[in-house]
Structure 1
Amino acid sequence: MPTLTRLALAVLVLLAASTAHAASNGSETLLRGLWTEAQLAGTPADRVVTKPWAQPLDNSPPARLTPETTLPPVPADLREVIRRVNPAKGERLVALTFDLCERATNVAGYQNEIVNHLRAQHIPATFFAGGKWMRSHPEKAMQLMADPLFEVGNHAWTHANMAVADDAEARRQVLWTQAQYELLRAELARRAAAKGLSAEMAAVPPVPRLFRLPYGRNAERTLDLLAGLGLPIIQWDVLGEWNDGSGSPQKSAEYAVKRVRPGSIILLHANAVPKNTQLVVPILTRMLAAGGYHFVTVSELLRAGTPETVRSGYFAKPGDNVQYDTLFLGGGTQHPRPTDAKHP
């Protein structure tokens, strides 16, 4: 085969691989084939968050307790808490991550304005969804699963603190969430089949492939437990919702941008609990883009370089999250009752 022909063939192979990779988290055809623009845009009702204990405590499990898909164990270089990545080529890459937390004592929301902005600007992101949150918001969870811009990670069933949960509870929190994702993926596949779009399901991962620690907390044993379940632990090195008391979205964005480095992972929320995140995100993404940063999912970031890890997770400095070991009840799954005079 002539050298030029071989080169052209190699280029075609690389392009094909790149295209397949870009669609590895979903399918635009699937997304647009199952929901209208209005359905994807959502409404203010999506953002409703119920008050703690406004309804009965919900520790009920999903319809299936264990996932059908088993992931291979995490490789040695990904077995600690990953705070950021050092890009091998020095690229200005950054990963936006959004937690979708929900405890046993209330129902969180879905900040559709954030997702609408990301879609409008074609910005990839990683969403770490709690299993109970996915059960409470099945349509939104399936939309995120189907969208090729986004990947969905595991954020525990009811936001349990892995530093205080015993091994049995920690496993339940992880596996119930994997199983709930599978149940929704099965419904997504059913709808896709009804529309003649079954082939598009190949792009939707069978289960989440990443894990985020609730409160950023873990015990030493958590590292082995999650590694055995095949889930790298993804932390962050930049807080995207910093607040000096003024509630200024501009100041939050500026605080984050000053701390971003190539390979940074930024912590944000899309469950409508932080009040100004939907105002921070457009400012933050505009400033990062102006600084030459390229947005990627966490999985893309991991493939681009070497992870920077720690043994124990934290927010901005070691030990700044230990208060969550006693601030919430039930291993972190419950708010204290309104009648409680003080936290335990």
Structure 2
Amino acid sequence: MVNAGIRLCFFIFCVIMACCLSPLAAWSRTDEPASMGDAHISERLRQGTPADLRRALPNNSAPPERRLPHMQLQPLPPQEDGTIRRVLLPEGTKAVALTFDLCELATTTTGYDVDTINFLRREHIPATLFIGGKWMRSHAERAKQLMADPLFEIGNHAWSHGNFGIMDPQSMRDQVLWTQAEYEILREGILRSAAENGASLPDIAAVPNLFRLPYGRCTDQSLALLAHLGLRVIQWDVVAEAMDDNSRPELAAEVARRVRPGSILLFHANRVPKGTAALLSGVVRELRDRGYHFVTVGKLLTMGQPLRTRDGYFNKPGDNKALDIRFGVDGTGRRASTKGKAE
């Protein structure tokens, strides 16, 4: 009986170790630099960690350490009010922008898709990352790595994914400005660390000047507020990811067929949809075969005429309104009233 008990304990121990070691193997997966030009990306940045998993970090729904950014952008001119879904490019110009949302609700934490980001780095693909302020704080080291990487452009994706179709004006301001302030805090840390180590100071924008609407939801009031805060609202004309298995090979070809010159593609890099890295690899391959190249949203806006709309939606107007009740009273996951403030 004693030997049987020992064998049983040993069997259970082996099962537990197998369950634990499989994820750890995935966390420690690395990608070798494609060239010496990648030397600024250390091996440590390329490695996944347990903290990159969804809900691995403790949740903190408090406001940021500083609620107002030191730098305030100038209001946009009236003609730039609205949402930009794609850019009309000159004939023969086949450029597109890949964009990635990294966000989390007030009630939970999400993760960091190291495979997706490493693919972009390995392939030298510039991209625009729309990052939520709360995500920045939860994943501060990851956020600073992304901000300091010259390959990436950073946009504002609201503090805790608040719904700009239903929030009150003060809550919307908080969602925007808290994120700008958190970005400033992290930027100051990056510059301070570089100075202390005698390194050259990275060229990082003072604050983001692009904004992505959570859920794609908006109203005329929210668009006016965002324009007053100096933020260009960037949406998409191609939703890349599906709700099911994004690693299906046929999905990449289907996404690529919907792309036009000047398209803005929506992906995520916070581990919410599954299979994003595999889908991204396939989409990039398909688009390159079609003669496309990749630029940031900021660059794309300079290459042609931005096409604006007053609506926010996924694929057609109104297809996102059902989300107004799914994620709580203000879209941040909260169920109790938060009138007058975002958190």
TM-score interval, normalised by the smaller of the two chains? 0.7 to 0.9
Report the Cα distance in structure 2 between the residues aligned to 1:276 and 1:80, rounded to whole angstroms. 32
Q: Using structure 1 for the length normalisation, give the TM-score.
A: 0.83
Q: 1:212 touches 1:233 (CA, 8 Å); kept in 2?
A: yes
Report the Cα distance in structure 1 between the residues aligned to 2:111 and 2:250, rounded to whole angstroms. 24
- Percent of residue pairs identical: 48
DSSP 3-state at the match of 2:210: coil
1:312, distance to aligned residue in structure 2 (A): 1.2
DSSP 3-state at the match of 2:122: helix
Which residue, 108, 111, 114 being the options, matches 1:109?
Answer: 111
Report the Cα distance in structure 2 between the residues aligned to 1:138 and 1:328, rounded to whole angstroms. 25
1:39 is matched with which residue? 44
1:49 is matched with which residue? 54
Report the Cα distance in structure 1 between the residues aligned to 2:73 and 2:246, rounded to whole angstroms. 41
Report the Cα distance in structure 1 between the residues aligned to 2:287 and 2:138, rounded to whole angstroms. 33
1:82 is matched with which residue? 84
2:23 is matched with which residue? none
CA RMSD of aligned residues (A): 2.2
Aligned residues: 301
1:297 is matched with which residue? 296
1:221 is matched with which residue? 221
1:88, distance to aligned residue in structure 2 (A): 3.2
Residue identity matched to 2:161: H
Deviations 1:17-53 (A, max 9, x none): xxxxxxxxxxxx9x966xx6221102142431118xx
Report the Cα distance in structure 1 between the residues aligned to 2:246 and 2:210, rounded to whole angstroms. 31
Confirm whether residue 91 of structure 1 aligns to residue 93 of structure 2: yes
Confirm whether residue 194 of structure 1 aligns to residue 193 of structure 2: no
Report the Cα distance in structure 2 between the residues aligned to 1:233 and 1:55, rounded to whole angstroms. 31
1:280 is matched with which residue? 279
Q: 1:249 touches 1:277 (CA, 8 Å); kept in 2?
A: no
2:69 is matched with which residue? 67
Report the Cα distance in structure 2 between the residues aligned to 1:334 and 1:118, rounded to whole angstroms. 31
1:238 is matched with which residue? 238
Report the Cα distance in structure 1 between the residues aligned to 2:307 and 2:91, rounded to whole angstroms. 15
DSSP 3-state at the match of 1:330: coil
Q: 1:55 touches 1:105 (CA, 8 Å); kept in 2?
A: no
Residue identity matched to 2:50: A
Q: 1:197 to 1:239 in 2, by over 3 A?
A: same
Q: Using structure 2 for the length normalisation, give the TM-score.
A: 0.83
Confirm whether residue 209 of structure 1 aligns to residue 214 of structure 2: no
1:123 is matched with which residue? 125
Report the Cα distance in structure 2 between the residues aligned to 1:90 and 1:141, rounded to whole angstroms. 36
2:141 is matched with which residue? 139
1:319 is matched with which residue? 318
Report the Cα distance in structure 2 between the residues aligned to 1:64 and 1:43, rounded to whole angstroms. 29
Residue identity matched to 1:286: R
1:101, distance to aligned residue in structure 2 (A): 1.2
Structure 2: tracts of 5 or more residues without a match? 1-35, 337-343
2:28 is matched with which residue? none
Q: 1:100 touches 1:269 (CA, 8 Å); kept in 2?
A: yes
1:76, distance to aligned residue in structure 2 (A): 3.3
DSSP 3-state at the match of 2:55: coil
1:9 is matched with which residue? none
Runs of 4+ in 1 over 6 A off after TM superposition: none
1:55, distance to aligned residue in structure 2 (A): 6.1
DSSP 3-state at the match of 1:153: strand
Which structure's CA Rg is the greater one?
2
Report the Cα distance in structure 2 between the residues aligned to 1:86 and 1:299, rounded to whole angstroms. 14
Structure 1: tracts of 5 or more residues without a match? 1-28, 338-344
